[in-house]
Chain A
Amino acid sequence: MTTFLLGIGLILCFLVLLVLYRVVFGPGVFNRVAAISAIGTKTLIILLIMGFLYNRVEMFIDISMVYALLNFIGCIAAAKYLEMEK
């Protein structure tokens, strides 16, 4: 079970690196904001998998819930700011 979860975690890390390309080279700022929001969702799952691997799921559930919240609010704030800019 741990090997399976470890494999999934590594695949998700690889996917995060793929999305990182858009953050660096995205033409314009909207691409970057959307890519950071996508990285946030994958970070959640990676945190939970780490919680399973360390046998302390309760602690990591709290952390990932906070990160999901802040990702949501950050995305909305960035979108409102960019709308105002134009």
Chain B
Amino acid sequence: MVFRKDDIIVNTISRILIPFIQLYALYVIMHGHYSPGGGFQGGVILGASLVLLLLTRGYDETRLKIPENSMKLFASAGVLIYAGVGLLCLFFLGNFLDYSKLAVLLHVDPAQARSLGILAVEIGVGFAVMAVMYSIFLDISTGGVLAEDEEEE
């Protein structure tokens, strides 16, 4: 399923559309306050764009661009950002995830600090969701056998 086939129409349209899909996903994450969206939805669209890359380019080419270890890093980084922002609020003598206490760090008023804090948390969620969706699709479609495991034997 993830082998490259010489299909001109689907390959050309996918390679033109993928940057726009990724930009749309980042737009959805950043504008979670004003329009429907937020962290999880943007992460799903990012994951879908990576799945499209995998389907049309094949596993071998995509592995050069996006190694599997980087997906582990992305997932961990997402959770780290989320919990890190919460702990940062703890350091400033507030509750866990009480973003108004970040106003001292960012030199803005507390309401603006809450907005920026939520934005940071959504970015973390987006990273984690993208990494997990890509990993699940890769795992199911290759039958759980990664090339790195095969090379060790």
A–B contact, 8 Å CB criterion (strictly below): yes
Closest CB of chain A to B76's CB: distance in Å? Answer: 26
> Count of chain B residues with Cβ under 8 Å from any Cβ of A?
16
Closest CB of chain A to B147's CB: distance in Å? Answer: 19
* Interface-side segment among B33-41, B83-91, B109-117, B121-129: B33-41
A29 at the interface (CB under 8 A from B): no
CB-defined A-B contacts under 8 Å, sample of 17: A58-B35, A59-B36, A62-B28, A62-B36, A62-B37, A66-B24, A66-B28, A66-B45, A70-B48, A73-B51, A76-B10, A76-B14, A76-B52, A76-B55, A76-B56, A80-B55, A81-B1
Where the two chains meet, the residues of B that have a C-beta atom closer than 8 Å to any C-beta of A are: 1, 10, 14, 21, 24, 28, 35-37, 41, 45, 48, 51-52, 55-56
Where the two chains meet, the residues of A that have a C-beta atom closer than 8 Å to any C-beta of B are: 58-59, 62-63, 65-66, 69-70, 73, 76-77, 80-81, 84
